[in-house]
């Protein structure tokens, strides 16, 4: 996108009361206000009447579009529960439970091959295809919901799906999981995938990944005590060590694009987070070192004001047409974790940049579009069907709630 269009978009947002004052002070009160305003937006706007995330909001059309609702909903649950721990506002817990009930309702009970799996449709170009990461990216919220409420269904359903995927999708010799399942036949897609850039390929890594997002098997182990899940989780952590590149990323796997040298803003952070969970479980410092390698690389892509863009290249360049607030928050959250482990003091400035950016870059409470009031910025701009496709994504708010809750505890408690 040209600089002209970027300036035009900035002007449009500013005229509509888009941004908070750039000299806002990161006081305890301002951070808490941002946290609660984000949680109110999540409960009142992002979640529909059934508790499902509305996902992507097209700011030009004024319409919502679904995109991987199970993992988007799961991330909102995780964010709301983090805010609930700080505020004790029962509204946030109530809506998180409603969202968890919707998520659990996706359990497949009547398909001869898919019984026990989750109907985790990807949406968008992949249609109804069931995707592994659409499940695992959302399970953090479900297991946390179980820990807070004591209701076992919130852990039993993701455990059931994880068991199915472990039995049907794992490739043990390479320590990866296939990505996709045909929802009609129940067959695992082993030679083609609707989400792969190469639609028809016999390259294993074009249809599979370590798929350790969400640390699903660690949570399954801690819930059940079954050692096979612990073994599975550790194997995936070892897989991440094996496939991590010299820059700290996993360029062999989509949505990273090895051919053009671009990487997805959150994908590598999920793997780094799972390696931190691996360290928590085992005490293996190799996992922590690998996670730090990823987070060190990300500092090269955070701008002086805290911004991280959606599409970045390992050569240091960035495409500035989309602003990825969820990456600002996710990186900030993981930088704090490294500081707390005692190996991340060099990231303290990055944490402050992230916190300042997230607090300042929120849609105003009196924004003329009610669908945006209180949202944390996460703007994705593309060309689609011969027009500009500009979406404000729910992940800006869900990851923003997680990060600012962590920052609040790190800074003020």
Residue 384 burial (CB count, 10 A): 11
CB contact at 8 A, 363 and 378:
no
Looking at residue 191, its pLDDT comes to 86
Mean pLDDT on 94-122 = 96
When the pLDDT of each residue in the chain is averaged and rounded to a whole number, the result is 92
* Residue at token pair 């968008």: 124
Report the alpha-carbon distance of residue 40 to residue 185 in Å, rounded.
Answer: 41
Phi, psi (deg, nearest 5) at residue 97? -65, -40
pLDDT digits (tens, 9 = 90+) for 36-55: 999 999 999 999 999 999 99
Mean pLDDT on 395-412 = 98
pLDDT at 34 over 80: yes
Looking at residue 198, its pLDDT comes to 46
Looking at residue 63, its pLDDT comes to 97
pLDDT at 327 over 60: yes
Looking at residue 383, its pLDDT comes to 85
Looking at residue 196, its pLDDT comes to 58
- What is the chain's Cα-based Rg? 20
Structure tokens at 196: 């792969």
Q: Which long-range contacts (CB under 8 A, 24 or more apart) does 146-150 make?
A: 146/223, 148/81, 148/84, 148/93, 149/93, 149/97
CB contact at 8 A, 272 and 237:
no
pLDDT digits (tens, 9 = 90+) for 194-251: 765 544 556 899 999 999 999 999 999 999 999 999 999 999 999 999 999 999 999 9
Looking at residue 202, its pLDDT comes to 62
b/e burial code for range 288-304 (CB count within 10 A of at least 16 → b) = bebbbbbbbbbeebbee
Task: Give percent above pLDDT 90 in the chain.
Answer: 86
* Angle at CA of residue 54, ends 20 and 151, nearest 5°: 105
Higher pLDDT, 124 or 186: 186
Nearby residues of 36 by Cβ (< 8 Å), 6 or more positions away: 83, 87, 89
pLDDT digits (tens, 9 = 90+) for 267-305: 999 999 999 999 999 999 999 999 999 999 999 999 999
CB contact at 8 A, 291 and 276:
yes
Report the alpha-carbon distance of residue 45 to residue 49 in Å, rounded.
Answer: 10
413 — pLDDT class (breaks 50, 70, 90): confident
pLDDT at 313 over 50: yes
Looking at residue 330, its pLDDT comes to 98
Mean pLDDT on 139-149 = 98
Looking at residue 112, its pLDDT comes to 95
14 — pLDDT class (breaks 50, 70, 90): very low
Higher pLDDT, 121 or 74: 74
pLDDT digits (tens, 9 = 90+) for 51-95: 999 999 999 999 999 999 999 999 999 999 999 999 999 999 999
Strand order in the sheet with 170-171: 170-171, 176-178, 208-209
409 — pLDDT class (breaks 50, 70, 90): very high
Looking at residue 190, its pLDDT comes to 92
Task: Give percent above pLDDT 70 in the chain.
Answer: 91
SS (H, E, C) the chain: CCHHHHHHHHHHHHHCCCCCCCCCCCCHHHHHHHHHHHHHHHHHHHECCCCCECCEEECCCCEEECCCHHHHHHHHHHHHHHHHHHHCCHHHHHHHHHHHHHHHCCECCCCCCCCCCECCECCHHHCCCEEHHHHHCCHHHHHHHHHHHCCCHHHHHHHHHHHHHHHHCEECCCCEEECEECCCCCCECCCECCCCCCCECCCHHHCEECCCHHHHHHHHHHHHCCHHHHHHHHHHHHHHHHHCCCCCCCCCCCCCECCCCEECCCHHHHHHHHHHHHHHHHCCHHHHHHHHHHHHHHHHHCCCCCCCEEEEECCCCEEEEEECHHHHHHHHHHHHHHHHHCCCHHHHHHHHHHHHHHHHCECCCCCCCCCCCCCECCEEEEEECCEEEEEEECHHHHHHHHHHHHHHHHHHC
pLDDT at 19 over 60: no
């Amino acid at each position: 996108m040209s600089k002209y269009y970027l300036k035009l978009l900035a002007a449009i947002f500013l005229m509509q009361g888009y941004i908070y004052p750039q000299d806002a002070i990161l006081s305890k009160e301002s951070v808490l206000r941002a946290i609660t305003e984000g949680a109110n937006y999540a409960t009142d706007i992002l979640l529909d009447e059934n508790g499902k995330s509305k996902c992507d909001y097209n700011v030009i059309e004024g319409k919502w579009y679904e995109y991987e609702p199970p993992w988007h909903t799961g991330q909102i649950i995780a964010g709301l529960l983090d805010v609930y721990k700080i505020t004790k506002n029962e509204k946030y817990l109530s809506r998180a439970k409603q969202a968890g009930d919707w998520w659990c309702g996706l359990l497949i009970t009547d398909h001869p091959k898919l019984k026990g799996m989750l109907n985790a449709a990807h949406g968008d170009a992949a249609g109804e295809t069931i995707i592994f990461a659409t499940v695992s990216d959302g399970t953090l919220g479900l297991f946390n919901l179980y820990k807070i409420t004591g209701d076992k269904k919130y852990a039993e359903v993701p455990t059931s799906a994880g068991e199915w995927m472990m039995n049907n999708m794992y490739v043990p010799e390479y320590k990866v999981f296939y990505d996709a399942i045909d929802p009609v036949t129940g067959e695992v897609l082993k030679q083609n995938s609707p989400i792969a850039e190469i639609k028809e390929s016999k390259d294993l890594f074009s249809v599979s990944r370590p798929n350790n997002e969400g640390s699903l098997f660690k949570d399954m182990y801690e819930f059940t005590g079954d050692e096979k899940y612990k073994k599975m989780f550790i194997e995936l952590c070892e897989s991440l060590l094996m496939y991590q590149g010299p820059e700290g990323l996993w360029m062999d796997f989509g949505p990273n694009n090895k051919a053009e040298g671009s990487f997805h803003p959150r994908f590598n952070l999920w793997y780094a987070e799972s390696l931190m969970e691996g360290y928590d479980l085992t005490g293996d410092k190799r996992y922590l070192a690998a996670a730090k390698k990823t987070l060190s690389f990300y500092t090269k892509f955070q701008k002086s004001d805290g911004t991280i863009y959606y599409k970045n290249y390992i050569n240091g360049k960035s495409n500035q047409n989309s602003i990825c607030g969820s990456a600002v928050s996710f990186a900030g959250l993981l930088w704090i974790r490294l500081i707390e482990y005692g190996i991340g003091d060099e990231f303290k400035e990055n944490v402050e940049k992230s916190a300042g950016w997230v607090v300042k870059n929120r849609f105003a409470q009196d924004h003329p579009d009610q669908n945006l009031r209180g949202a944390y910025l996460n703007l994705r701009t593309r060309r689609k069907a011969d027009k500009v496709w500009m979406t404000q994504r729910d992940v800006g708010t869900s990851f923003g709630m997680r990060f600012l809750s962590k920052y609040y505890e790190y800074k003020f408690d």
